[in-house]
Amino acid sequence: MALTRMDNVGIVVEDLETTIDFFRELGLELAGRATIEGEWAGRVTGLGDQRVEIAMMRTPDGHGQLELSRFLTPPVVADHRNAPVNALGYLRVMFAVDDVDETLERLRSRGAQLVGEVVQYKDAYRLCYIRGPEGLLIGLAQELV
């Protein structure tokens, strides 16, 4: 099984509007906005009850994206070297894979640790977060066809 693509990079911010404007000025396009909440979201992140405003920013070629997030609950934390997914600054890099379980197994042999659970979102995705080298937070997403 192989890695299929890099999906997006997530960044947690306090001021979503100012950050959207900054990335628009840089040349990214606002692809969409949403509020993410519900038990599935807390299960994949390991945070439990959460409510997050997100904005997806797309690169001009349509291949790269940033997911800008503003956590409403729980509150953000400051130190992100070993912080949960609601830390300010770098959040995680999400990769699309064709098989989450097989990929997770391969990465565990390199020291990866599952953060929350592998969860399924509707009939669309299987998702999980892992801690990789030096505690880097990495997301894996398997699109269900």
pLDDT at site 63:
92
pTM for the full predicted model: 0.71
Domain extent at residue 53: 3-143
Does residue 133 have a pLDDT over 90? Answer: no
Can you give the CATH number for the domain in which 102 is found? 3.10.180.10
Can you tell me the mean pLDDT for 100-126? 94
Can you tell me the mean pLDDT for 62-86? 84
- Please give the tally of structural domains in the chain: 1
User: What's 89-145 look like in SS3?
Assistant: EEEEEEEEECCHHHHHHHHHCCCCEECCCCEEECCCEEEEEEECHHHCEEEEEEECC
pLDDT tier at 81, thresholds 50, 70, 90: low
